Chains A and B, each alone.
Chain A
Amino acid sequence: MENGTVFRVNSPQVVSETIDGEVVIVNLDKGIYYSLLKTGADVWSRIERQLDRQELVREVVRSYDGSVEEIEIAIDEFIANLLAEELIVIDPQPRAASTENSPEILETSGSKPHFEKPLVEKFTDMEDLLLLDPIHEVDVDAGWPTAKAA
């Protein structure tokens, strides 16, 4: 992944909210939702700030206890996952990175939390609410107009 690449949230079809350290993300077009915790939530907030890949890695390295190589590989994998799920896209015309809501960067090595690989938890249990199954409560096998058995 190139150092200068900037990403952005794939809005408006992707919406997200951060709440008590958890990021809940909804892909409106696909009927899938996601949860990011800990390092994942932290990296997401830096993506929202439109940091380029290099600066993003640099900030995470300064904030967590872990090798540069380990962090770099984990972040690239995490970003590739977010891109594959179409939760973020590469921004061809990035704005200047925002310092708003910038997470605290811990400089003292003793106080750094251990780096944990950021993970994307994916929930697909509501896909059938979308038009893929166009008729709410239709019997999946018999199709419209047969309703699901009560």
Chain B
Amino acid sequence: MSSNLILSLPSDLNMSIAEADRVAFFQLVYRGFERAMESAGSVDRFYTIGCYTLRLRFAGAGLMPQLAPALAHLEVEPTTNPDLTVCLWDNASTQTKLPLLIQSFVELIQIHWTDYLGPRKEVKAYDGDRIRTNFHIGPNILSVLDLQQNLACYWIDDARNIPYWEKGSPLQTILNWWTTDRQHQYVHAGAVGTPAGGVLLAGKGGSGKSSTALACIASNLVYASDDYCLVTTDPQPYVYSLYNTAKLKGQADLDRFPNLAPLVDNVDRVGLEKAMLFLHQHHPDKIARGFPIKAVLIPQVTGKPDTHISPATAGAALRALAPSTIFQLSGSGQTAFGMMSSLVKQVPCYVLELGTDMVQIPIAIEHLLSQL
């Protein structure tokens, strides 16, 4: 299978030396995947991301149970021509090692990460227009994408070390790089609504996005995201679901949503991690793959009992949506900012003043949607 995916040695005379080096780097990382596949075999899974087909090619048994549940609601039948292929493996379950040069480089980054990494964890020397490279220091996840081949590599030493937030919203870096190139923007936002239209919930962590999304599960509204989703503005503002993950913060959320508490996936680690559940496993009917965006809401926790919705400026919505998205995602810049600016210009924006009576939240959103 490898011959139709990986290119031959760089020979294009128009290619700069730096880009040729990055292509050679990608090839060597990909060679690591081929070794893993030769050693442990591979399994393909296909998903619909926005209007594109994604193939995840897993070598070894380590990563699939960690990363596939969050995307399960988007799984589709195999196709011969996926738009993007991501090759995923870990050394532990495949019992392989990275090619020596890559392994040495990865070790070097871990020691001298301040020299090698940019502020959003991009590997500076290997991050260019065609080849994008990111190293998530800490869990030590290497992500590399060749935009020309629509082929990416995702590696970690031991899949058991995948952090819970990566399990909840996997492949952020690669999906962000790839979709931005196609006028789709990966955003840090929740989304709830009806098949006819819904709202985007914009705000930094702790602003109330997740609580709002969770409050809507027991209502007439459907759920597309509590944290990360994909948006486009052409031909109309539209949000696509990426993950069916729902996260509960601490005992307060577990008490607030007693219907969801028994469904928590990482119950043995709650206290160390946010409680997390995969809604597709329990409430598949509540998950929407997407809907038109009718409004952007900025949740604000008030501590008062009642929920109200009041008008907000587009600038306030952009401040709630864009910085938290851009600072988290490697490769986001003016294009991403422009897309989010275009979005908040096209739909009305509101402050969602969240009350403590959770039942009122979906009712207020439903009422707003009925008026738009």
- Which residues of A line the B interface, CB within 8 A? 11-12, 15-17, 19-22, 24, 26, 28-31, 33, 35, 123, 125-126, 129-132, 134-138, 144-145, 147, 149-150
Q: Which of B27-35, B82-90, B287-295, B319-327 contacts A (4 or more CB under 8 A)?
A: B319-327
Q: In the bound complex, do residue A17 and residue B275 qualify as a contact, i.e. CB atoms below 8 Å apart?
A: no
Q: A17-B318, A28-B326 known; A131 and B117 CB under 8 Å? A: yes
**Interface of chain A, main secondary structure:** loop
Q: A126-B204, A150-B271 known; A28 and B324 CB under 8 Å? A: no
Instruction: List 10 tightest A-B contacts by C-beta distance, closest first.
Output: A22-B315, A135-B138, A129-B327, A17-B341, A130-B119, A15-B334, A33-B323, A131-B119, A150-B274, A15-B337
Rounded to whole angstroms, the CA-CA distance of A123 and B318 in the bound complex is 13
Offer 6 A-B interface pairs, CB within 8 angstroms, sorted by A.
Answer: A20-B314, A24-B318, A31-B327, A33-B319, A126-B204, A150-B272
* Contact with A11, one of B318, B334, B341 (Cβ below 8 angstroms): B334
Rounded to whole angstroms, the CA-CA distance of A81 and B118 in the bound complex is 25
Question: What 1/0 mask marks residues of chain B from 251 to 274 whose CB sits below 8 Å from any chain A CB?
Answer: 000000000000000000011111
Q: A17-B337, A138-B138 known; A126 and B324 CB under 8 Å? A: yes
Rounded to whole angstroms, the CA-CA distance of A24 and B165 in the bound complex is 29
Q: In the bound complex, do residue A136 and residue B270 qualify as a contact, i.e. CB atoms below 8 Å apart?
A: no
* Contact with A26, one of B117, B250, B274, B323 (Cβ below 8 angstroms): B323
**Interface set, chain B 147-183, CB cutoff 8 A to A:** 163-165
Residues of A within 8 A of B341 (CB): 17, 19, 24
Q: Tell me how far the C-beta of B333 lies from the nearest C-beta in chain A, rounded to whole angstroms.
A: 6
Rounded to whole angstroms, the CA-CA distance of A29 and B118 in the bound complex is 8
* Contact with A31, one of B119, B270, B271 (Cβ below 8 angstroms): B119
Residues of B within 8 A of A12 (CB): 333-334
Task: Check: B121 CB closer than 8 A to any chain A CB.
Answer: yes
* Contact with B323, one of A22, A123, A135, A144 (Cβ below 8 angstroms): A123
Q: In the bound complex, do residue B334 and residue A35 qualify as a contact, i.e. CB atoms below 8 Å apart?
A: no
Kindly list 7 other residue pairs between chains A and B, CB separation below 8 angstroms, not including A129-B328, A150-B271.
A15-B326, A17-B341, A20-B345, A28-B333, A31-B119, A35-B319, A131-B120
Residues of A within 8 A of B272 (CB): 147, 150
Instruction: Tell me the nearest residue of chain A to B332, going by C-beta.
Output: A28
Residues of B within 8 A of A137 (CB): 163, 165
Residues of A within 8 A of B332 (CB): 28
Residues of B within 8 A of A138 (CB): 138
Q: A17-B337, A19-B315 known; A126 and B323 CB under 8 Å? A: yes
Q: A135-B138, A136-B165 known; A17 and B338 CB under 8 Å? A: yes
Residues of A within 8 A of B119 (CB): 28-31, 130-132
Task: Check: B137 CB closer than 8 A to any chain A CB.
Answer: yes
Rounded to whole angstroms, the CA-CA distance of A11 and B165 in the bound complex is 31
Rounded to whole angstroms, the CA-CA distance of A11 and B335 in the bound complex is 13
Q: In the bound complex, do residue A24 and residue B322 qualify as a contact, i.e. CB atoms below 8 Å apart?
A: yes
**Interface set, chain B 104-123, CB cutoff 8 A to A:** 113, 117-121
Task: Check: B220 CB closer than 8 A to any chain A CB.
Answer: no
Residues of B within 8 A of A35 (CB): 315, 319
Rounded to whole angstroms, the CA-CA distance of A124 and B139 in the bound complex is 26
Task: Check: B45 CB closer than 8 A to any chain A CB.
Answer: no
Q: Tell me how far the C-beta of B134 lies from the nearest C-beta in chain A, rounded to whole angstroms.
A: 11
Q: Tell me how far the C-beta of A119 lies from the nearest C-beta in chain B, rounded to whole angstroms.
A: 15
Q: In the bound complex, do residue A147 and residue B273 qualify as a contact, i.e. CB atoms below 8 Å apart?
A: yes
Residues of A within 8 A of B204 (CB): 125-126
Rounded to whole angstroms, the CA-CA distance of A33 and B119 in the bound complex is 15
Q: In the bound complex, do residue B137 and residue A135 qualify as a contact, i.e. CB atoms below 8 Å apart?
A: yes
